[in-house]
Structure 1
């Protein structure tokens, strides 16, 4: 069964490029396109695509507002939004991730990473452009003290290692190779971390780890 995708960008040529990249891949189908934020929200709510690729700068509603409307943490059944933009400004990154986005990609990240982000979002995972991850690390670790909350139940040593690896942008396969554990074991630790911290996905694990001081730039 195909992964259904909605594209939201006010530039038709960008939408065309994204469509060509995605539909060249097996198992991905673009089901709708929107040229402004209000249209994106309406189409997404009606069609319920598996993944929404949303630009930041759009008329009517910007990408951050669209993300909050479709993926906000207060929603009962949020959609999976990946923000794709030319701009990696801190305000955009934080706004998107706090609004519930499960990915933040720069348009120059390349087609392979874009496709990987779509597949990761569909699988309930998350992906952030490496250069954006580095910006977040530098910003958060420069703060005087962490803002992250302590878990209700302490993380085990292995769970802490996994959370730290997630914050560094490692995939499950890379974490498994790095720690010498199986892929299924990695997934189990990620799920345990999410449960103990009350988080929804890997992006939120990464944000918590950065803010709680588990990693340094």
Structure 2
């Protein structure tokens, strides 16, 4: 399996150590650098072009929100922070973050899976972030051609998977809820993404909510 280079950005050295330890459990993940603020993160991202950046929000000099857009030009961005404010989550997602995890809402294995999902272009949202994404979709429906709603082609099982995805559940949690294997859930999600014309979990949540709430 190809090595995935990771940049960790957090002003707390204890948190950086903890994240490095979690990622070390997966041999395919390699932490190539660490930064304590957004300015350092940008310099390292330009130089190293990591596959993914784990980005905190509240930091000195330059916070995560101020740099997420530019970071996204050099690396996929997974926000990893204690910030649960809806406007912060919304701004991060709208400025290009592909995933958003809130401390306390995930296990170490969830972080490792989230890294792989985000690098693979599929995105990952904590329950709180997923609810904000849904609210965004309801308030600002995306523009699209007037065609038959994409959700009409989804099977009953795919609808069940998609509704649980919108609640912020991980693949493992969805599998547990529906008595499926994680591989089966992943297959269902791939079919859902294809039918909805999206590439990530975040886009699927937004498209699904938009389809159901746009006249």
TM-score by length of 2: 0.77
Counterparts of 1:13-162 in structure 2, within 5 Å, are 13-71=14-72, 79-109=75-105, 110-134=107-131, 136-137=133-134, 139=135, 146-149=139-142, 151-152=144-145, 153-154=147-148, 155-159=150-154, 161=159
2:67 is paired with a residue whose SS is helix
1:83 is paired with a residue whose SS is strand
Q: Give the conservation status (yes or no) of the 8 Å contact 1:140–1:210.
A: no
Partner of 1:191: 194
Query: 1:148-186 CA deviation, whole Å, 9 max, x = no partner?
Result: 1353243251349476554333556848x96x9x65464
Counterparts of 1:172-187 in structure 2, within 5 Å, are 174=174, 183-184=186-187, 186-187=189-190
Partner of 1:203: 202
Q: 1:16 to 1:185 in 2, by over 3 A?
A: closer
CA distance in 2, matches of 1:19, 1:40: 16
Stretches of structure 2 lacking an aligned partner (at least 5 in a row)? none
Stretches of structure 1 lacking an aligned partner (at least 5 in a row)? none
CA distance in 2, matches of 1:156, 1:200: 15
2:45 is paired with a residue whose SS is helix
Is 205-214 or 159-168 further displaced after alignment?
A: 159-168
TM-score by length of 1: 0.77
CA distance in 1, matches of 2:28, 2:18: 18
1:105 is paired with a residue whose SS is strand
CA distance in 1, matches of 2:165, 2:104: 23
Aligned-residue RMSD, C-alpha: 3.1
1:29 is paired with a residue whose SS is strand
